[in-house]
Structure 1
Amino acid sequence: MQVLSVFTSYQHLAQVYDQLMTEVPYELWIQYAEKMWKETSPKKIIDLACGTGSISIPFAELGYEVTGVDLSEEMLAVTYNKAKEKGVPIQLLHQDMSELEIPMTVDAVVCFCDSLNYLTEPGAVLETFQRVHHALKPGGLFLFDVHSLYKINHVFGDHTFTLTEEDIAYIWQCYLEEGSLVTHELTIFVREGPLYKRFEEVHVQKGYSHEEIVKCLKTAGFDLLSCTADFTDEAPEEQSERIFYAAVKTK
């Protein structure tokens, strides 16, 4: 286990990630979590796949003891600098979510923003759930969301998306493969003075059925509390795009 305390540099995507995500409603994830755990009032939480801290930091500002975990040192560097600027304490761990290992147990674990879809093997999903189960106290909550199969196969599919703004632009091409596997190829242009600097990113995500996720939860020792869609209290429908799961450690 590597604990990160000081960061000095990071790569391009981490630098521009927050610019690309300005329209993402992070506050809705915060509201969802606080609604789901209002009866248990957790104190210590893990933000799994925390990225640039856009959820970890608001949690810390609300008074939670937050541990942010991410595979990307560059993303963690951004989180560290943002937390330092805001004066909020956050512990940061550089780990793969399927290899989560912490020296204490916590009251709740969240894994938001479709991070679990980056696990492209079912075995890695089960391993992650087992690691989360081990990190939780008895009765602890595990909250997460995933892109639905509909979104993977039909919204992303083989489509192309573009963004053009004054300081940043991208071309985002999606390539769908068998097994609900989608490759995102991003070409990003960032203004540097009078010129634009170009760089490329490739990300792969996999869609999972509700049955696959519930099976992994049960195998790992969780009971499913709720399954809702798209920041509502409603059950998922055929064209729901983001599915939210709340599970409790019972074994």
Structure 2
Amino acid sequence: MTFNIEDVFNVDDYMYFYSEKLTEERTKREVEFLVKVLELKESKRILDLACGFGRHAIKLVELGHEVVGVDIMEGFLEIARKKAEEQGVSVKFMKGDMRETNFKEEFDIVLLLYTSFGYFSGEENFKVLQNVYKALKPNGFFCLDVPNRDFVVNHLSPCSVLEKGEDLMIDMPSFDVFTGRMNVRRITIRNGRRREVSYSIRLYTFTELKELLKRAGFEVYKVFGHWDGRELSLNAPRMIVVAQKV
């Protein structure tokens, strides 16, 4: 299945349908969680990969950290820059592909959040982890937030719908047991116009992800099953992994 990032993550549609889910309160809770688990007691230099419209990056800068946000979508970056200016904070937002970043031991922390890992081939996904490793200072920490494959497979619905007024975003997922990928057909109906795209994401078990991180040079430090800090289990929807560069 081909994957066109700009088609799948159409900025206007994304902000329209997801704005009510990605609230300020939710972002605040997530940043509080990051501060706790990453022990961000003093100012750190942080790389927010696939930063989107900067909701985590801006909050972290407000807490006194130095943040660089990287995203491949210029539309999201424009929103992020405008929001940072409105908040009166300085964040360096850069357009870039996580497969091609070239930072070298510049950051104390690297974040890759909200299901932004797994969209590429196995080799490219591993390249992302290698790039993260290179970007971190010695003993730096990497926080990765992805779906828990065990939970997803056990709770897979043939259809999920986001509804806003008369507009709909419909996802029809299927899981390929041979590739470990979830293939999604997405239909968006907005203002009476229908748009269809498809995408695929590699979902990992914790065992697989731990092995990948180890190959890239990391050691898993902590793991959680959700942003509320629960333990990872079959019934936990997320895998939030904190790994250390060794």
TM-score normalised according to structure 1 size: 0.82
Among 212, 218, 227, which residue is 2:214 paired with?
A: 218
Q: Is the 8 A contact 2:8 2:198 kept in 1?
A: no
Identify the residue that residue 143 of structure 1 maps to in structure 2: 143
Q: Is the 8 A contact 2:43 2:64 kept in 1?
A: no
For residues 210 and 224 of structure 2, what CA distance do their matches in structure 1 show? 13
Name the amino acid aligned to 1:15. D
Shift of 1:246: 0.6
Pair 77,235 (structure 1): closer, same or farther in 2 beyond 3 Å:
same
Other structure's SS at 1:216 match = helix
Name the amino acid aligned to 1:108. I
For residues 100 and 176 of structure 2, what CA distance do their matches in structure 1 show? 27
Other structure's SS at 1:60 match = helix
Identify the residue that residue 49 of structure 1 maps to in structure 2: 50
Q: Is the 8 A contact 2:99 2:128 kept in 1?
A: yes
CA deviation profile, 1:162-219 (whole Å, cap 9, x unmatched)? 232226422222132232211222222334xxxx444334332111121221112222
For residues 214 and 148 of structure 1, what CA distance do their matches in structure 2 show? 13
Pair 41,155 (structure 1): closer, same or farther in 2 beyond 3 Å:
farther
Among 229, 233, 236, which residue is 1:237 paired with?
A: 233
Shift of 1:104: 6.3
Pair 224,42 (structure 1): closer, same or farther in 2 beyond 3 Å:
farther
Identify the residue that residue 4 of structure 2 maps to in structure 1: none
| Equivalenced residues, count | 235
Q: Is the 8 A contact 1:69 1:92 kept in 2?
A: yes
Pair 87,42 (structure 1): closer, same or farther in 2 beyond 3 Å:
closer
Other structure's SS at 1:101 match = coil
Other structure's SS at 1:88 match = coil
Is the aligned partner of 1:160 residue 2:159? yes
Q: Is the 8 A contact 2:148 2:203 kept in 1?
A: yes
Percent of aligned positions that are identical = 24
Shift of 1:92: 1.9
For residues 168 and 64 of structure 1, what CA distance do their matches in structure 2 show? 39
Pair 230,12 (structure 1): closer, same or farther in 2 beyond 3 Å:
closer
Name the amino acid aligned to 2:27. Y
Shift of 1:52: 1.8
Q: Is the 8 A contact 1:148 1:241 kept in 2?
A: yes
Shift of 1:103: 6.5
Q: Is the 8 A contact 1:107 1:136 kept in 2?
A: yes
Is the aligned partner of 1:17 residue 2:14? yes
Q: Is the 8 A contact 1:156 1:182 kept in 2?
A: no
Pair 18,43 (structure 1): closer, same or farther in 2 beyond 3 Å:
same
My pick for the range that moved more, 206-215 or 167-176, is 167-176
Q: Is the 8 A contact 1:45 1:108 kept in 2?
A: yes
TM-score normalised according to structure 2 size: 0.84
Long gaps (5+) in structure 2: 1-6
Other structure's SS at 1:163 match = strand
Alignment of 1:26-45 (within 5 A): 26-38=27-39, 41-45=42-46
Other structure's SS at 1:16 match = helix
Q: Is the 8 A contact 1:15 1:78 kept in 2?
A: no
Shift >6 Å, 4+ stretches:
none
Name the amino acid aligned to 1:23. K
Q: Is the 8 A contact 2:43 2:66 kept in 1?
A: no
Other structure's SS at 1:176 match = strand
Shift of 1:12: 8.3
Other structure's SS at 2:99 match = helix
Shift of 1:243: 0.7
Name the amino acid aligned to 2:21. E
Shift of 1:136: 1.0
Shift of 1:225: 0.7
Pair 237,12 (structure 1): closer, same or farther in 2 beyond 3 Å:
closer
Is the aligned partner of 1:115 residue 2:131? no
Is the aligned partner of 1:59 residue 2:55? no
